[in-house]
Amino acid sequence: MTLLSRKCVPFTPLDRELSKCAVSLVTAAGVHRRDQEPFNIADELGDLTFRAIGGDAALADLMVTHHHYDHHDADEDLNVVFPLEILRELADEGLIGQVAREHVGYMGYSMQLKQMYEQTAPAIAEYVDKKAKADLVVLTGG
Amino acid sequence: MRGIPTVLITVSPEVSVQMRPPRAIYPKDFRIGNSLGRPGMRDLQKRVLRDAILAVTGPARPGEVIEYSYPEYLA
């Protein structure tokens, strides 16, 4: 039997056309800028922090720190988990309005689910709202 | 704070569905670490991301994970 969350589904309708939306990526795949502090893979409980990544970042300036999935493919082409270049193409083609100014990476393995749910996730949502000014978020895992 | 619409691209649908995400797509048989395909598969990566974004404007199926087929991934 599959156990489903008993919380309400937090469904938010899209209130504008896609072609007018700023879209932000939020990934659990452990993506961060090379000049940012890597996620702490030494802590068996996981890392509750997140990293902000500018919408104009070059993928070559980003990397993955995550020890709970095989990220060799992401190391070769980050678009497989963090499709920032693809998002730019979709903006150029007019499917979306623009690539949001900020995106987020965190390490989606945690034994501290309560803190992740009650602290990290709201902090990311706040960041995506206030700093990224995103109208729509695409979430990816590893 | 206002709500922000989200769409999830998951390659672990059996895990993701437990959280009842508001919108989610599962590219069938993609393995973990390949949410949008394999390295260099630019056209496929774009199809997956486009499908995810377009799912936001499609019929609402909150709490479900919708399966999409991309045979070229397995080819």
| Per-residue pLDDT reduced to its tens digit, A73-129 | 999 999 999 999 999 999 999 999 999 999 999 999 889 999 999 999 999 999 999
* Whole-number average pLDDT of chain B: 95
Cβ–Cβ gap B39/A80 under 8 Å: yes
Measure CB to CB from residue A141 to each of B35, B37, B52 and give the nearest one. B35
- Which of B18, B42, B49 is the best residue to mutate to test the A interface, defined by the most A CB atoms within 10 Å of its own CB? B49
Q: What's the domain range around B13?
A: 8-70
Q: Which of residues 45-64 of B touch A (CB under 8 A)?
A: 45-46, 48-50, 52-54, 56-57, 60, 62-63
pLDDT of residue A59: 98
Minimal C-alpha gap between A10 and chain B (Å): 6
| DSSP conformational letter for A114 | H
Two tokens, residue B31: 């393995």
Tens digits of per-residue pLDDT, B14-23? 999 998 999 9
Q: Is residue B1 part of a domain?
A: no
Whether the predicted pLDDT of B1 surpasses 70: no
Number of domains in chain B: 1
Measure CB to CB from residue B57 to each of A14, A23, A134 and give the nearest one. A14
Nearest to B51 by CA among B39, B40, B67, B63: B67
Tens digits of per-residue pLDDT, A17-61? 999 999 999 999 999 999 999 999 999 999 999 999 999 999 999
* Predicted confidence band of residue A1 (pLDDT cuts 50, 70, 90): low
Q: Is residue B47 part of a domain?
A: yes
Whether the predicted pLDDT of A2 surpasses 70: no
Q: Is residue B32 part of a domain?
A: yes
Least-confidence region, from B37-41, B47-51, B57-61 = B57-61
Measure CB to CB from residue B36 to each of A18, A83, A129 and give the nearest one. A83
Q: Is residue B75 part of a domain?
A: no
Minimal C-alpha gap between B54 and chain A (Å): 8
pLDDT of residue A8: 84
Q: Can you give the three-state secondary structure of A1-61, one letter per residue?
A: CCCCCCCCCCCCCCCCCHHHCEEEEEECECEEECCCCCCCCCCCCECCCEEEEECCCCHHH
pTM: 0.95
* Predicted confidence band of residue B47 (pLDDT cuts 50, 70, 90): very high
pLDDT of residue A118: 95
pLDDT of residue B75: 82
Q: Is residue B24 part of a domain?
A: yes
pLDDT of residue A115: 95
